[in-house]
């Protein structure tokens, strides 16, 4: 395990402190394997926050990036939410600010604003409804057709949503630099090496990469597809950390990364030592201003109400 002098001892201390603090450890599927293994729950960001809110834990240790910890704080204001690496951010989320979004809204009076969950609480507070990569198309088709739509911040997910739904949107120019760097040629190269493999693609990838997919899905959707499919080989076009869950959940199948460069430095910045330090100090803590939290919560609740 990287960056850990005595991992066995660190893990033992984490488990002991977790009990003492009445804490729950959440890990996104992009986290390093050793972080996923000490977590109580592993999954995508919003589902983790929702499940943590339903537990009686007093402390949430969120092994992910800042907007994810904010989502947990929005849904669980009475709990202490910790982010083991305070500088773990999301370049995509950083492409849109509340101020810039307000300016865009002023250019399009009456527009409905849809935000991807990969946004700050302040941005969510400026939006009408949130969405995840799993329910983005469903959320979009639930909206009235007589008003323009602004979607922030991912241009690739926005393009996918628009194509799948037939709805036009004003799409922000942000993107996930990890997914956006993947090219169609790279996917085709791996496909030539593994011709029987199905291609699983995250909708944050470029449109030309999405076009090559046998299945387009969120991280949890990819895992579900691999578990249920009879196919034995898969090319995975998303951050490489998810391969740990693929291999764990489907040990008799083979998974190949679409590219070795699909690594998020922010996700990999959390270590076992940092998790332990968070439990020892109850820091760094992530909080959300009460007024922003109330407005951001509405965008999440509206999303959850979509059937």
> What tokens does 293 get?
């939290």
Whether residue 17 is contained in a domain is answered as yes
Confidence at 39, pLDDT banded by 50, 70, 90: very high
Q: Which residue has the tokens 């083991």?
A: 84
| Same-domain pairing of 109 and 70 | no
Determine the Cα–Cα distance for residues 126 and 206; give it in Å rounded to an integer.
Answer: 27
Q: Is 295 helix (H, G, I), strand (E, B) or coil?
A: helix
Write the pLDDT tens digit of every residue in 156-168.
999 999 999 999 9
Confidence at 5, pLDDT banded by 50, 70, 90: low
Could you tell me the strand order of the sheet in which 149-152 lies?
Answer: 129-131, 112-116, 149-152, 170-171
Mean pLDDT of the region 106-122: 97
Determine the Cα–Cα distance for residues 223 and 244; give it in Å rounded to an integer.
Answer: 11
| Same-domain pairing of 114 and 166 | yes
Confidence at 119, pLDDT banded by 50, 70, 90: very high
Is the pLDDT reported for residue 4 higher than 50? no
Whether residue 303 is contained in a domain is answered as no
Whether residue 41 is contained in a domain is answered as yes
| Same-domain pairing of 144 and 191 | no
Residues in a beta bridge with 24: 60
Is the pLDDT reported for residue 152 higher than 50? yes
**Any idea what the CATH number is for the domain that residue 194 is in?**
3.40.50.10800
Q: Which residue has the tokens 């120019």?
A: 173
| Same-domain pairing of 121 and 79 | no
Residue 134 gets which letter from DSSP? T
Confidence at 212, pLDDT banded by 50, 70, 90: very high
| Same-domain pairing of 101 and 170 | yes
Total length of the chain: 307
Q: How many alpha carbons fall within 13 Å on the CB side of residue 23?
A: 28
| Same-domain pairing of 223 and 252 | yes
Boundary of a domain, candidates 144, 175, 206: 175
Write the pLDDT tens digit of every residue in 97-111.
999 999 999 999 999
Determine the Cα–Cα distance for residues 46 and 118; give it in Å rounded to an integer.
Answer: 10
All residues at 6 or more sequence positions from 20 whose CB lies less than 8 Å from its CB, including other chains: none
User: Are residues 120 and 83 in contact, defined by beta-carbon separation less than 8 angstroms?
Assistant: no
Determine the Cα–Cα distance for residues 302 and 115; give it in Å rounded to an integer.
Answer: 12
Confidence at 47, pLDDT banded by 50, 70, 90: confident
Region label for 266, one of left (φ > 0), alpha (ψ between -120 and 50) or beta (otherwise)? alpha
Angle between helices 45-53 and 66-75 (to 10 degrees): 30
Radius of gyration of the chain (CA): 19
| Same-domain pairing of 242 and 276 | no
Whether residue 299 is contained in a domain is answered as no
| Same-domain pairing of 79 and 136 | no
Q: Which residue has the tokens 């969405």?
A: 131
**pLDDT at residue 12, as a whole number:** 97
Q: Which residue has the tokens 């942000």?
A: 174
**pLDDT at residue 2, as a whole number:** 44
Determine the structural domain holding residue 249 and report its residue range.
182-257
| Same-domain pairing of 111 and 82 | no
Residue 267 gets which letter from DSSP? G
How distant is the alpha carbon of residue 42 from its chain centre?
12
Q: Which residue, 290, 267, 291, 245, is CA-closest to 83?
A: 267
| Same-domain pairing of 169 and 145 | yes
Whether residue 298 is contained in a domain is answered as no
Mean pLDDT of the chain: 95
Total domains present in the chain: 3
How many CB atoms lie under 10 A from the CB of residue 305? 9
**Phi, psi (degrees; rounded to nearest 5) at 63:** -90, 90
pTM value is 0.94
């Amino acid at each position: 395990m990287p960056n850990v002098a005595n991992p066995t001892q660190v893990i033992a201390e984490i488990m002991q402190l977790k009990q003492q603090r009445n804490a729950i450890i959440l890990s996104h599927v992009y986290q390093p394997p050793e972080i996923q293994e000490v977590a109580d729950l592993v999954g995508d960001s919003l589902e983790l926050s929702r499940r943590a809110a339903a537990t009686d834990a007093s402390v949430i240790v969120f092994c992910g990036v800042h907007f994810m910890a904010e989502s947990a704080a929005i849904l669980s204001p009475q709990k202490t939410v910790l982010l083991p690496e305070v500088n773990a951010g999301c370049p995509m989320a950083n492409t849109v600010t509340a101020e810039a979004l307000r300016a865009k809204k002023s250019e399009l009076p009456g527009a409905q604003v849809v935000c991807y969950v990969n946004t700050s609480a302040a941005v969510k507070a400026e939006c009408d409804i949130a969405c995840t990569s799993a329910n983005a198309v469903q959320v979009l088709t639930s909206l009235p057709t007589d008003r323009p739509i602004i979607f922030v911040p991912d241009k690739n997910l926005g393009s996918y949503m628009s194509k799948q739904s037939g709805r036009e949107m004003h799409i922000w120019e942000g993107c996930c630099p990890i997914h956006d760097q993947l090219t169609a040629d790279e996917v085709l190269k791996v496909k030539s090496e593994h011709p029987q493999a199905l291609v699983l693609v995250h909708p944050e990838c470029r449109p030309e990469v999405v076009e090559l997919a046998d299945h387009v899905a969120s991280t949890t959707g990819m895992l579900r597809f691999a578990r249920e499919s009879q196919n034995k080989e898969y090319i995975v076009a998303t951050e490489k950390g998810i391969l740990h869950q693929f291999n764990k959940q489907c040990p008799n199948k083979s998974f190949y990364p679409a590219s070795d460069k699909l690594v998020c430095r922010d996700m990999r910045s959390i270590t076992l030592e940092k998790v332990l330090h968070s439990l020892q100090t109850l820091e760094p803590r992530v909080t959300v201003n009460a007024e922003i939290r109330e407005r951001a919560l509405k965008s999440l609740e509206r999303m959850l109400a979509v059937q």
